[in-house]
Amino acid sequence: MNFWQTSRTPFFILAPMEDVTDTVFREVVLSVSDPSVLNVLFTEFTSVDGLLDERGHESVAQRLKVSASEQQLLRDRDTKLVAQIWGNEPEKFYRVAKFLTSLNLFDGVDINMGCPVKKVVKKNTCSALIQFPDLAKEIISATKEGSGLPVSVKTRIGFNTIATESWISHLLTCQLAAITIHGRTQKQLSEASANWDEIGKAVLLRNELSPSTKIIGNGDIESYMQGMDKINQYQLDGVMVGRGIFKNPWLFNTSESSVSREERLMLLQKHLELYAGFWGTDKNFQILKRFFKIYLNGFPGAGQLRAKLMETRHGNEAQSILEQELHLLPERA
């Protein structure tokens, strides 16, 4: 029995996102989430080629770093962490799966068969594997053989056109622990609305072909209640949240109460502190600027404050501006 079988359900999962879901951001989200809601987080997607390249290993392996403070939060909350990997050579998946298991940091391994970005699709990786079902199966088998951890796949409902029945049926023959399905084709990228009816079809296929495989829906979830509605409507085992977290870092809570200006400023402050403390000079401060809009919205003057922070050149400068803003707020009774 693996955690996909024994964990509380439904699953609410933070999606893997490039330059977003590092150990620092995961800890920030964990710190403001209800542990009875958020129960699985994914790392950034990590290239098996990069991990096995002596020259590139160190920089690529940053994506798999887990801070001591995040580890403690995960243990305290019984929340699971899954490493996501991508590539197209089964033998490399086998080697990386063994490596990930040896780290004793992760509860599962996920294979990216969903990213639609052209530069990875051109390499016949990620969502391109939908066009190469036999290779996809070889990759899954190699990963399962190399890993002592449960193996899952994140994918889409098709490549150029919808192919839910044939593609998801094929994956279900691999006896995966879980399949996360984004309700768009590769061709659609993030355009149009996610097709949840197709995700619902996958549940019926699962019931027939691989009853133990968990089916997770993904696409356009922006609140806890919206996630629960999809889970109930389509009888899903859970949902995965990606871009929705950019609108609301407090999304993984049962109550949807408003968040004060002070809480927003303090959470950004925490993010800056954790980033500086963990990464130091290993990561460029400029990467952090993509997060400013996540916290600084929904209150008067948010846009002006964001613009001010976007002009900063280092973390200390940004922290100083936030301190001034917090100092100007009226004292709480």
pTM for the predicted model, two decimal places: 0.95
* Average of per-residue pLDDT across 277-293: 92
Give the active site residues. Answer: 115
Residue 234 CA: distances (Å) to CA of 2, 168, 202, 203, 238: 24, 16, 10, 8, 10
Give residue 333's pLDDT band: very low, low, confident or very high (50, 70, 90): very low
156 with 185: CB under 8 angstroms? Answer: yes
Q: pLDDT higher for 189 or 116?
A: 116
* Average of per-residue pLDDT across 45-66: 94
pLDDT for residue 94 is more than 80:
yes
Residue given tokens 């280092």 in the structure block: 314
* 3-247 is a CATH 3.20.20.70 domain: yes
What percent of the chain lies above the pLDDT cut of 70?
A: 99
Residue given tokens 């449960």 in the structure block: 150
pLDDT tens-digit readout, 225-274: 999 999 999 999 999 999 999 999 999 999 988 899 999 999 999 999 99
* Domain boundaries of the chain, sorted by first residue: 3-247, 261-328
What percent of the chain lies above the pLDDT cut of 90?
A: 92
DSSP class of residue 64? Answer: G
